[in-house]
Chains A and B, each alone.
Chain A
């Protein structure tokens, strides 16, 4: 058994002149819940199809369980897919759908019978064997699709936006259920999604993609707390971007001048010299507002807008009449929700290590 369930080595996929996947390299470990996250058209589904064998790479290699796949057709790969629209066979019953893969591999009738009932139990669909897919709700169809793939005990399960067609509440419930299921069966999951929250909730690791390229690979915390680029910071969660020029570099810290004489600080996580154009990224929930200057680095500003959103309150604060930052404050007590009003003069500050230095 190879350490990696799936490895992609400098894989390219071109459709005519369109580059769908551009030198993508991934190493997905055994038993990992791995998400490919990106906006639509970023190449994440094509990457999944390259692993499944529905597409063959223009260049580069795909390894599954240590074996080079080359031109191996999908029906000879030890992977199974849960399709975006489920792709259940409409002319077959739930039982026949789930049994299909086992039947194709000439598993005996008794074993098929046993396995199908077991897996339907696992996805909480017992007693539905005789139904046709058309008689099931979206959520039930989703479970059948999952059962149909899992019953084969694949090396790797590929999921292409499997929760995309479900309503929000069901989707949230299924996210947790899928994660629990994955931990129980111990199969490697490769999960394609454009929903950053879904990826953060479920994944062990995430590969963020855009325009066919992988921009960053990391745990949800790494991706969220230390985005490697402006795109990643912007795509995952909300971020304030402060553009400016490096004014000073000292003690592992960089001071950036944004606008006119407004200095902000960030840890020096990448090379920067005085005069470089850079971007400082700060998450709204890392910023605090106070009416007194508690921190010497606090920036003076004015509250411009207050929006109450239940769990927290969002403020728009204008810094020295030049830049606007978004601030999120959790509503710990009822009175904190109405602490500040528009027009209040405030001091805006954040921990230096909360700010990220990114290329301009």
Chain B
């Protein structure tokens, strides 16, 4: 659509001015700043030496950082897959309830998110750490049960070995698993909501049509429901994958010292190492990867 007159052009400019201004000041300018800094060098005392170098980008390909990035990508992918496998059926369930139930169920899904993100993540720390809720039951009730069984049936060695196993706490905290649990918990609604929107829009007479044409439940799902709700699934996956890839708080709290993600590396470059150029370079690489991954994904999903 072309603006028909100068007046229309002006009206258009006035209308988009606020968002244009917002994007310019808070998105484009910082982005350019980060880009420029990423080609600089760290000064001896932490400042920025303004000369042009690609060494920061070359440094990203150091095995140390590649390994962290690999772990980050793995965690983000696992988070997305788990959210998908758990969130899609949840969305399907909600979308197929009678209309009066749907809003209630969606509300129940959202309620936990009225609590501050930091507090919710901290709660997981209290659940997963060595003296946490899970291990209290593990080394308490479960351990006692097996101890009891071992004394009752001394012949069964299984019980005594199980009693031995439960005497030490499970190593939950500080693992990739702990981070994934925290991330899935944090981003699940971002998967459920777009999937819900897609499934709710689905015309279920199409499912009946498929079944009428000899497709059983599995086939009618794969051939009709899944392709038609794919846009929601793709949107949900992107909405989960991107924040998970750049996660910082969750791995910081639940990953301990051993499991760190690329977000923590960027943080430490800016805050502890005071190497702004390297931190900027990692940020840019991460952004490029996210962009490429998203484009590929949308392309695949639109087929």
Q: Which residues of A are in contact with B by a Cβ distance under 8 Å? A: 52-54, 73-76, 79-81, 83, 85, 87-91, 100-101, 104-105, 148-149, 152
Contact = CB atoms under 8 A, between A and B. Distances in A.
B145 to A, nearest CB: 44
A101 B205 contact: no
B205 A75 contact: no
B227 interface: yes
A75 B214 contact: yes
B294 interface: no
A90 B228 contact: yes
Instruction: Say whether chain B's binding surface is mostly helix, strand, loop, or mixed.
Output: helix
Contact of B209 (A53, A79, A89, A91): A89
B14 interface: no
B292 interface: no
Given A74-B208, A83-B205, A83-B208, A100 B228 contact: no
Interface string B175-219: 000000000000000000000000000010110111111111001
B224 interface: yes
A90 B201 CA distance: 13
B6 to A, nearest CB: 38
9 contacts: A75-B211, A75-B213, A76-B214, A83-B209, A85-B203, A87-B203, A89-B210, A100-B210, A148-B213
Given A87-B205, A87-B206, A91-B227, A52 B213 contact: no
B215 A100 contact: yes
B51 to A, nearest CB: 55
Interface residues of B, number: 18
Most buried by B among A52, A75, A152: A75
A104 B213 contact: yes
Contacts of B216: 73, 75
A73 B211 contact: yes
Interface of B: 203, 205-206, 208-216, 219-220, 223-224, 227-228
A152 B213 contact: yes
Nearest to B228: A91
Nearest to B205: A87
Contacts of A75: 211-216, 220
Contacts of A79: 212
Contacts of A105: 214
Contacts of A149: 212
Contacts of A81: 208-209, 212
A141 to B, nearest CB: 13
Contacts of A100: 210, 213, 215, 223
B272 to A, nearest CB: 52
Given A80-B213, A81-B212, 10 more contacts: A54-B208, A73-B211, A75-B220, A83-B208, A87-B205, A87-B206, A89-B209, A89-B210, A100-B213, A104-B214
Contacts of B203: 85, 87
A14 B193 CA distance: 34
B206 A89 contact: yes
B205 A85 contact: yes
Contacts of A76: 214
Contact of A52 (B210, B212, B214): B212
Contacts of A87: 203, 205-206, 208-209
Contacts of B213: 75, 80, 100-101, 104, 148, 152
Nearest to A106: B214
A80 B209 CA distance: 9
Contacts of B212: 52, 54, 74-75, 79-81, 149
